[in-house]
A and B are shown apart, each in its own frame.
Chain A
């Protein structure tokens, strides 16, 4: 008789028990062969009996939260077909054959290579330094008055260190709860990458706004970033670094991104402009750029006045 494997799932993690005995008892009491500490599990919840013809019998022993076998509630079930899904209280388990084919090995992020972005702490440090530089640059490029270096440090501390720190803290706690691991290095690397990408794309969107003399680049940036890029980045992290299954990772990514994305979108001037059917402010293209690259042609005063005659009336709100 080949031994059987009982896969017990708890919070996304699996534990495996090898069943070699003829009769194996499962429950919360300490005299069981396999002890499950969940309070919804009965002291003596079920027993598994192996037979010489490779069949197995699963016998329910409890009236409170009886064992579900492949979704049904029989008192007992004899079967040769494995795997069998079990619900023991709220604990999910599977009875598997020993030769059950396991999923292919998932490569470590960065393939475990030091040269890879996620492979060594050096990269995390370099990326954090780049973020600090970006934060400092942001302050410097908007400093129209003489400033002290302490002002720059305060800004970087407030805007960059706190932002990255808060995200790392929140997501690492979440990861610990989800997959029972701390992945601080990978998390710092990922969040720093996203921070840099955000900084670059925000500036790029501003340049595009001037290039096209239109609002759509900033709208695209705001909505694309919050509705697509943040959830996608989190999902990729959960799939490739936390090694969660795709469906679960996508669901979690949406859940994690929502508290960040929704307030940002709801408070954005772009959404306000789209939802409001009336504004007393003139929304005109006030963007200016030192690079001065734009697609619109330069026109004479006469051409401008001629074309301005066709400027339509303002739309009345309902």
Chain B
């Protein structure tokens, strides 16, 4: 009994000491660099024939010490051509070896690689520090050697989803996949992308923790399995994204005589996209373009998918006669998916036309789809609907979605049309 009491007192004392002790001293960039320089590698995708680098990035030791984390986009070439390329790492001291792919999180742009043997001590991971706290990104910029960039945590970007945080430092090509540290030398995220000077993004480490837990201990069985997995992840993400869009209440947006779906998700931004018309124009046109920002990197050929773009275009004139007006209207009604892509990447479009009754108005509607060659079940969808039957008023909607399950887009198109209301 006395021993038990003594133990309790001792434990309470230790706890009190721990709570009242000063926090660990903040490390500076020099110290963080020194502590981690042997735990951050250059990740290289090499051609099996030439032995030369095809792409480079950075990676760092995680998990059991045999695992290395990097970005999916650093190693994505291997997904398309595993018979041509392989992944390897090289450390500061020349330590090198081949890596196998253990797991992917395509949506968060993460990949988990496995080495044959222990490559070093894993870096400890930690949740995000408060907004404004200093953070340090390590990596191999432009193949120039290991370096560290200092910046601050700019917080989670709400216009994508919760998978990106803003980093006020400067990430350069080659640093992708490297760790981002807090001032205790713990990895709080993975360098992922840069928009422009001093606007960079990192992926919070919790997604990497999830990936480590979920990943198989062995590599994928075949190249087809890899592509299926990529397609499964992207489509799963896009389907849940569309489900969210459908579940949201859509605010209204007015454009002349139409009430339309406005900002249908926090991931979407709408901009006025009206072209400047000279004084000599005998018509008026107004254009609103809404687009999301949560793009998913697919591979070297396809680049990004996950676009949701919807545009509204209103045209009117009291100076043009009906034939003139419709000649102009027809010329403007030709939106396309803005991507130059090849036969090896996607199929041709298949399109069909309907005249759909939308809020008592007739709209000439075209629905087109095309499929991805390498990714089963993945499609691009283009929907257009142009108002007909008015002599001097024109209006069309264009809705574009890329890298999606075609069937999942139909309820979204339906909701779009149901929320398109004509106001006489």
Contacts and interface: CB of A to CB of B under 8 A. Distances in A.
Interface of A: 140-147, 213, 277-290, 292, 294, 296-302, 304-305, 307-309, 311-318
Contacts of A286: 330, 333-334, 366, 384, 386
Interface residues of B, number: 63
A229 to B, nearest CB: 24
A297 B108 CA distance: 45
Contacts of B354: 296, 299, 304, 307-308
Interface in B319-375: 320, 322-330, 333-334, 336-337, 339-343, 346-358, 362, 364-371, 373
Given A145-B278, A290-B326, A312 B356 contact: no
Is the contact region of chain B dominated by helix, strand, or loop, or is it mixed?
Answer: mixed
A223 B376 CA distance: 38
A304 B324 contact: no
Contacts of B343: 277-278, 316-318
Nearest to B344: A317
Contact of B366 (A140, A144, A278, A284): A284
B347 A315 contact: yes
B239 to A, nearest CB: 16
Contacts, number: 157
Is the contact region of chain A dominated by helix, strand, or loop, or is it mixed?
Answer: loop
Residue with the highest number of chain B CB atoms closer than 10 Å, among A277, A279, A308, A312: A308
A23 to B, nearest CB: 77
Interface of B: 278, 280-283, 320, 322-330, 333-334, 336-337, 339-343, 346-358, 362, 364-371, 373, 379, 382, 384, 386, 388-389, 391, 394, 406-407, 410-411, 413-414, 417-418
B358 A284 contact: no
24 contacts: A144-B320, A213-B353, A213-B364, A278-B348, A280-B339, A282-B337, A282-B370, A284-B349, A284-B351, A284-B366, A285-B364, A287-B330, A288-B326, A292-B389, A296-B355, A299-B355, A304-B365, A305-B410, A305-B411, A305-B414, A314-B346, A316-B348, A316-B373, A318-B343
B329 A288 contact: yes
Contact of B280 (A146, A296, A312, A318): A146
A281 B341 CA distance: 9
B418 A317 contact: no
The 5 closest A-B pairs by CB, nearest first: A314-B347, A284-B366, A290-B322, A317-B343, A314-B370
A303 B334 CA distance: 24
A308 B352 contact: yes
Nearest to B370: A314
B110 to A, nearest CB: 30
Nearest to A203: B323
A234 B348 CA distance: 40
A296 B364 CA distance: 10
Nearest to B356: A304
Contacts of A142: 324, 327-328
B281 A145 contact: yes
A208 B187 CA distance: 65
A288 B336 CA distance: 17
